[in-house]
Structure 1
Amino acid sequence: DTSQNEITTTTIKQDDSSPTAATYWEVFSDRRSYILCLTGFFFHFANANVLLVLGELMGDGDDDEDGPSRNAIPLIAGAIVLAQITMAGATWAGDRATHLGVGRRPLFLIGLFSLPIRCALIIYWKDAGESFLLSTQILDGVGGGFLGLVHPYLVADITFGTGRFNVLMGLTASMFGLGGTMSNYLGQQAVEKFGHVASLSGSLVISVIPVLIFGLCMPETYGARGVDSKQHASSNNDDDDKEAGKTPYVEMAEK
């Protein structure tokens, strides 16, 4: 019996041909890869500066000759906490929508659309009071929640079968970070030279670019990995088998 099991295991290893990972060029030349990179770059290029300008406006820093007042610190802290709470709720809602079969495009577009609306409201409510300005952080949480949730799903769909998930995940994250860094620097330069409204107006204009790029060029990737209700049911059965102490190799050996 022992020798027969060894022969069976050896046969399985010989028949199991490991797939070859795709080349970097194959991953980078995929149209969906650079669409996602450009979308994330322009979104964060427009987004990162907004919280800084919002904090300056809430801290009575609209006059460029005056520094922010003492109440800026609790207001900025409140803005961050409000965005984080909303982000948690948006992530949960997006996850439920994904399990119900909602595609990647609509969820990602909701996150992208939240930014131009947020910029427009901050400009419109610039003199309306701190509570109005603070409430715009709800949209920041919506954008961060949906984009943060759908981003790895998109990367997994694009790189399915290539063995290069981490490569594209790192590339897109780097592009997102580059956009955010440039936004902080150039956005504050615009504040110093042209004022807060001009800086926010620039973010508003730039925030439309990722919406157009993603909305017009990015195809729906949901289902690229065979994600449907049947697969969810199959995964549940696999979990039951694992709990029973069985693995695919054990089942094959038993057969």
Structure 2
Amino acid sequence: MGRSLGALDGLNFFLADVQSGLGPFLGIYLLTVPGWSTSDIGLALTVGGLVGLIVQTPIGALVDKTPHKRTLIILAALATGLGAFTITVNPSYSVIAAAQLATGIAGTVFPPAIAAIALGLVGSAAYTYRTGRMAAFNHAGNVVGAVIFGAAGYLITIRAGFWFAGIATILVAAITLMINPRLINNDVARGLTPSSPTTHSGQRKPSGFGVLLHSRPLLALCAATMLWQLANGAMLPLTGQELAQQDARTGALFQAALIIVAQLVMIPMAVMIAKHGQDWGRKPIFLAAFLVLPVRGVLFALGDFPLYVISIQILDGVGAGIYGAMFVLVVADLTRGTGHFNLALGAATTIQGIGAALSPALAGFVADADGFHVALLVLSGIAILALIVFAVGVPETADIADTVPSSSNSKKPQPS
């Protein structure tokens, strides 16, 4: 078990290296190398997100059903690496769109598959700690990736960072193979519990899909996180593009600094969740992520000096550091006992992905029409709406009972 859990930590670390350049650094690359406009960049970055929306929920259902979760991660990582290499070949709109298409599909695999493997390895009792720990390793990997992308962009060429991301996919594949599939309880990995309904033979079975659609807290969570992502998605790329316009050569360094500051703060946030995510409660911690986002957007709009902008990224570290881990935990709480954890996670990620996908395009068009600062204020207003929806609609979930009550024959579960 120790080797598999260690491999899970390594997977989260190196996967962050693979994915770190395919968002903010891609925007800098397209702005400074082929000279794209902010609106064109926004549309290009939106392609992958929109494709992800189409496949995210089916991917979640597939993760629930299949025992071959490691294979899904490996294939997705290799597709992401191929996309990273392709981006540097010819930055035409068709090539970038094709690469975003591949990485968009691949990106839908990682959250549910990794969450399922972790839950299947450690069970629900240790899942809070494991989720926080995985988030900490992911943020550490993002720091390393940002350093490499920033240094490569300044000293060599910004293309070198994408080459590194492609090579890192080999490490992701190798580490994933170190996870022992025999240790993954696939019933637990999909959110089934001893109190879940059972068949006549005593085997646990998933509930009907209707249990997800009738969960008001889950629907409120989806609405709040969609708005949060709509507000948050373009803030970092937009700010990085503004700094890059002031000095194109140091644009990659500025973007690296923005990412590194935030990710360094995210690490202790993840450790805090691992230690206190259960006893402090989910909602007070998660609420902090919604509180800091509008403040961050307004502060970004008030100035554009590099050191000032970079210092504000401390708030991104607090907000995003909490958000990433708590989102998965709350979805797991709200679907406990249904057998549809990964399906629900995929569906919830799809809905929040609508916001993430539309954010670059919305901010890009506003920035082209009225400037960067107005775009940031628009995003801040959306963040306030997200805060209200979450505060009103999502309850405390740390000690919530199973969503599906036990059936009369649920005392005879069989291990998978």
Q: The TM-score by the shorter chain falls in which range?
A: 0.7 to 0.9
- Equivalence map 1:112-127=2 (5 Å): 112-124=290-302, 126-127=303-304
1:14-33, aligned counterparts within 5 Å? Answer: 17-33=202-218
Q: 175, 178, 184: which one pairs with 2:351? A: 175
Distance (whole Å) between structure 2 residues aligned to residue 111 and residue 135 of structure 1? 17
User: What is the percentage of aligned positions where both structures have the same residue?
Assistant: 27
Instruction: Map 1:100-111 onto structure 2 (within 5 A).
Output: 101-111=279-289
Q: Which has the higher contact order (CA 8 A, sep 6+)?
A: 1
Paired residues, what number? 207
1:36-95 C-alpha deviation (Å, 9 max, x unpaired): 11111110100011112211332345xxxxxx5322210111111111111111111122
Number of the residue aligned with 1:219 = 395
Amino acid corresponding to residue 224 of structure 2 in structure 1: T
Structure 2 partner of 1:146 = 322
Q: Is contact 2:226–2:352 with CA below 8 Å preserved after alignment?
A: yes
Deviations along 1:142-191, one digit per CA (max 9) or x if unpaired, are 11111111111111111111111011110111122221110011111110
Match of 1:130 in 2: 306
The RMSD of aligned alpha carbons is 2.2
Tell me the distance in 1 between the aligned counterparts of 2:381 and 2:399: 33
Ranges in structure 1 where 5+ consecutive residues have no aligned partner: 1-13, 62-67, 227-247, 250-255
CA distance in 2, matches of 1:145, 1:43: 14
Residues 206-245 of structure 1: pairs in structure 2 closer than 5 A:
206-225=382-401
Report the Cα offset of residue 16 of structure 1. 7.1
SS at match of 1:36: helix
Q: Residue type of the partner of 1:96?
A: K
2: distance between equivalents of 1:203 and 1:152? 24
AA aligned to 2:251 is A
Q: Could you tell me how far apart the structure 2 residues matched to 1:159 and 1:16 are?
A: 24
The yes-or-no answer on 1:84 pairing with 2:263 is yes
Q: SS of the counterpart of 1:59?
A: helix
Q: TM-score scaled by structure 1?
A: 0.75
Instruction: Describe the superposition over 1:205-228 as per-residue Cα deviations: whole angstroms up to 9, x where unpaired.
Output: 0001111011011111111159xx
The corresponding residue for 2:253 is: 74
Q: Which amino acid aligns with 2:268?
A: G
Kept after mapping to 1: 8 A contact 2:218/2:394: no
State the Cα distance separating 1:15 from its structure 2 match.
Answer: 9.3
Q: CA deviation at 1:18?
A: 2.9
Report the alpha carbon displacement of residue 31 of structure 1 after superposing the two structures with TM.
0.5
1:96 corresponds to which residue? 275
2:231 and 2:379 in contact (8 A); partners too: yes
Choose the corresponding residue for 1:54, options 239, 242, 246. Answer: 239
What letter is aligned with 1:222?
Answer: A
Q: Which protein is bigger by CA-based radius of gyration?
A: 1
Consecutive aligned runs of 4 or more in structure 1 exceeding 2 Å deviation: 14-20, 56-61
1:137, 1:214 → 2: CA distance? 23
Counterpart contact for 2:221–2:393, Cα < 8 Å: no
Q: Distance in 2 between matches of 1:86 and 1:28?
A: 36
Return the TM-score normalized by structure 2: 0.47
Structure 1 residue aligned with 2:224: 39
Q: CA 1:136–1:153 in 2, change beyond 3 Å: closer, same or farther?
A: same
The one-letter code sitting in structure 2 at the alignment partner of 1:51 is L
CA displacement at 1:198 relative to structure 2: 1.0
